[in-house]
Amino acid sequence: MLQSFRYREYRSVTCVSSNMSRQILGAVIDGEFELGTVFRDNRRTLSAQVMCADQSLLLKVPRARNGRKWERFLTLFRVSDAFRTLHHLELMRSMGFSAPEPVLAGERRASGVVVDSFVCYRFVEGRRAEPRDASEILAAIEALHQRGYLRGDAQLANFLIVEGNVTFIDFRLKRPRWLPKLQKAREIDRFLRSCPEARKLLTPGQAASRWLKLASMLERFSFGLRTVKRNMRKRWKSDR
């Protein structure tokens, strides 16, 4: 059960004891933690294994979301991305899916908007999913869809295999509000793009689905548009 408290200039929600929460929050705010494996460290995100208060954690800082003006404006009406991530972890586990154990999220506001936030959850020891795990991953994605949710960014790299079970990592739950069959098909198509070997696991009915065909067409258009935008940005920078 999530509990909320304030510490220094931060508001936090946590699943662990008050004393442990303050130790972790203080260590992250002051940068007084032992840095382990860094999975991503760029202008968009910091994602790294850290040791805080003798706990092995995954620290994630959504730098881009913390800094974008329009994202900050939206936090006048909602909690930070970090808080939502913690809630999604708890929700996923409550539905019986394997996901990292949520620990703590913190956010700092100025003039009512979030200017800094981060989330910590238990570091999961497991192996990266491989094409040989595709059948189990597809079953897990479809089970989540049956519960009415999308996981977002359903790539092979965003799953771990822990003691033979599929574990969801780096996800953001979403309830599809319009054309849910199409949105679910697009998520399946994204997974198939990251793991082409999984196509042979589809039933004839799934492979011939009009929703999947439409999803594939939309995904090709989306990827093509992103490529054009990326090339235009590179050209613009080189011309400056």
pLDDT bin (cut points 50, 70, 90) of residue 27 is: very high
Higher pLDDT pick, 155 / 240: 155
pLDDT bin (cut points 50, 70, 90) of residue 129 is: very high
Summarised one tens digit per residue, pLDDT across range 188-219 is: 999 999 999 999 999 898 888 999 999 999 88
Chain mean position to CA 60: 10
Least confident of 19-23, 138-142, 177-181, 229-233: 229-233
Has residue 221 got a pLDDT over 90?
no
Mean pLDDT in residue range 27-46: 93
- The structure's pTM equals 0.86
Q: Residue 48: which H helix or E strand, with range?
A: strand 46-52
Q: Which two tokens stand for residue 92?
A: 């996923």
How many CB atoms are closer than 10 A to CB 213? 13
pLDDT bin (cut points 50, 70, 90) of residue 53 is: confident
Are 49 and 37 in contact by the 8 Å Cβ rule? The answer is yes
CA–CA distance, 114 with 14 (Å, rounded to integer) = 18
The pLDDT value given to residue 182: 94
The pLDDT value given to residue 190: 92
Percentage of the chain beyond pLDDT 70 is 98
Has residue 232 got a pLDDT over 90?
no
The pLDDT value given to residue 135: 95
pLDDT bin (cut points 50, 70, 90) of residue 225 is: confident
CA–CA distance, 52 with 58 (Å, rounded to integer) = 10
The pLDDT value given to residue 52: 87
Please list, residue by residue across 120-155, b when 16 or more beta carbons sit within 10 angstroms of its beta carbon and e when fewer do. Answer: bbbbbebeebeeebbeebbebbeebbeeebbbeebe
Summarised one tens digit per residue, pLDDT across range 80-90 is: 999 999 999 99
Q: What are phi and psi of 55, to 5 degrees?
A: -115, 135
pLDDT bin (cut points 50, 70, 90) of residue 240 is: low
pLDDT bin (cut points 50, 70, 90) of residue 75 is: very high
Q: Taking all residues of the chain, what is their mean pLDDT, rounded to a whole number?
A: 91
